[in-house]
Amino acid sequence: MLRRSIEPPDAAAIAAARELSGAQAKPPGSLGVLEDLGAWIAGCQGECPPRPLDDVRVVVFAGDHGVAASGVSAYPAAITPAMVHGIAAGVAGVSALAAANGVRVEIVDIAVAEDLAGLDPAIGRFKVCRGSGSIEVEDALTGERLDAALAAGERIATDAAADGAQLLIAGDLGIGNTTVAAALIASTFGLSAAAVTGRGTGVDDATLAHKVAVIQRALVRAGHRASDPRQRLQALGSADMAAGVGFMLGAAAAGVPVLLDGLIAVAEASVAASMHPGVRPWLWAGHRSSEPGQSLALARLGLEPLVDLRMRLGEGTGAVVAVPIVRAAVAALRDIARLSDLA
């Protein structure tokens, strides 16, 4: 659990950004959400106008999930290590989109079941376990593993902030992770398994119904323990998602904003905000996923996504494609003249 305090974004910088935007050579409010977004970045940086976002990073947390053996995905668990290799080689979906949008990619093995031979040992420096428990029959994590995963995510965010990161994205990788994320969202907000469950990797109707049943069994098994966010994460989460939670808590404590991706990232944000409400002002939704649980959780967090492209890939890709919008908001504050200077 995070031991550092989380301070809110700087109110004076936010107010200065709103004043500046209102005085620029344009009708007040004419840039819509860009004006709110620019003020948010100004507040997070504590200065107006904010500095250009030259260092944006997506950290992809990889892990296997025992629930994948229950047949909730269209793909086998062997895909997880293959995709880790793909990201490490720079040829995965997030790799292509990040390169196109000036975003740095890091892949971290938190809980991949297999050995990842031939890769940079740094990828596995925070490894907690070889897969997480199957949540419909057992807890995902022991208390010790939960603490290790949370600490790993916090450390990664803290180190990134110290290294100059200005905007962070939590990416995800692991077969079965949409089942885990849906269970966390249902438990956090008191929603039904059917309401939060989507097709994930593209499952058919029969597999979707089975996935709903698996999540329902997990919720029943967790019972009243799910009212506590830490116990909820231990019972229904996974090591890689716990690392994502720690990452968001660590980023907020370090004063670095987080742009949220899809279902998995929003599930992590939901738990992080339950653990420490101070994290919420440091979050902005990058995109709306086609997974229903993500939209339900965003509404309850009071977050409106920047784009809706019907994406559901994960890996941080939806947030990555929204990064140019955030940069545009910063550029508008920095580069549009005051109307009084033109008169």
**Which residues are catalytically annotated?**
315
Q: Locate 59 and state its tokens.
A: 């950290």
205 SS3 class:
helix
Spell 97-125 as b/e; 16+ CB within 10 A means b: bbeeeebebbbbbbbbbeebeebeeebbe
Q: Locate 67 and state its tokens.
A: 């629930």
What type of residue is 281?
Answer: P
What distance in Å separates the CA atoms of residue 19 and residue 176, rounded to the nearest whole number?
Answer: 47
Q: What is the CA radius of gyration of the chain?
A: 20
Outline where the chain has alpha helix (H): 11-23, 33-45, 79-88, 93-100, 143-162, 177-189, 193-196, 205-222, 229-236, 239-254, 263-275, 292-301, 317-335, 339-342
**268 touches 182 (CB < 8 A):** no
**294 touches 325 (CB < 8 A):** no
**183 touches 135 (CB < 8 A):** yes
What distance in Å separates the CA atoms of residue 293 and residue 312, rounded to the nearest whole number?
Answer: 12
